[in-house]
């Protein structure tokens, strides 16, 4: 049997198939880590898209803000004067409302809220429009002070109302 030609052809064929299978299995195993990385990346992208869609829905359904930046500032100050801090926080962009609502009690204790109201009512208010952007900056100076309270107000692109993005 060792002298038959077909035996040796079979042995060579088996060796070639074994090398092919070993190479294929090595390639498949190395690709597994990339498939896992792609799966994790796709999950991350999907979660980011879901967060973006949820935030976009918040902006689209947002009833707060004024028709002009000045109106939003006035409404915000009026809410602070009424001590309606929930309403005041609603004049911020949706993603910052909770954070600002949590910060307002400390701002009341430190006198910051009273300072903003005083600066608006009896001080000096200067506004600047950012060129090429739907963004305004208000600087509120208390009487006799050179340190302003700075508010940045942006336009909600879905409702065309103005919201505070930074304080």
Residue 162's pLDDT band, with cuts at 50, 70 and 90, is very high
pLDDT digits (tens, 9 = 90+) for 22-78: 888 888 888 777 888 888 888 899 899 999 998 888 889 889 888 988 999 899 999
User: Does position 1 have pLDDT exceeding 70, yes or no?
Assistant: no
| Domain at 69-166, CATH class | alpha beta
User: Does position 3 have pLDDT exceeding 80, yes or no?
Assistant: no
| Nearest-angstrom CA–CA distance, 82 and 69 | 20
Name the maximum alpha-carbon separation found in the chain.
111
Domain ranges of the chain: 7-61, 69-166
What is the mean pLDDT of the segment spanning 1-12?
Answer: 78
Q: Judge contact between 69 and 165, C-beta under 8 A.
A: no
Antiparallel, parallel or unpaired: β 124-129 and 162-166: unpaired
| Nearest-angstrom CA–CA distance, 57 and 62 | 8
pLDDT digits (tens, 9 = 90+) for 98-141: 998 898 888 888 888 888 888 888 888 887 887 777 888 888 88
Model pTM above 0.85: no
Rounded to the nearest angstrom, the gap between the alpha carbon of residue 66 and the centroid of all alpha carbons in its chain is: 22
């Amino acid at each position: 049997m060792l002298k038959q030609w077909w035996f040796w052809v079979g042995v060579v064929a088996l060796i070639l198939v074994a090398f092919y299978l070993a190479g294929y299995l090595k390639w498949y195993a190395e690709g597994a880590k990339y498939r896992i990385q792609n799966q994790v990346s796709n999950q991350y992208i999907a979660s980011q898209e879901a967060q973006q869609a949820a935030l976009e829905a918040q902006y689209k359904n947002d009833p707060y803000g004024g028709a002009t930046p000045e109106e939003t500032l006035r409404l915000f100050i009026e809410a602070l004067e009424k001590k309606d801090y929930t309403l005041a926080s609603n004049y911020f962009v949706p993603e910052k409302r909770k954070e600002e609502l949590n910060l307002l009690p400390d701002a009341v204790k430190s006198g910051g809220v009273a300072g903003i109201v005083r600066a608006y009512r009896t001080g000096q208010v200067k506004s600047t429009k950012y060129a090429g952007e739907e963004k305004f900056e208000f600087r509120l100076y208390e009487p006799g002070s050179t340190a302003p309270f700075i508010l940045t107000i942006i336009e909600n692109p879905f409702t065309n109302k103005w919201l505070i993005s930074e304080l």
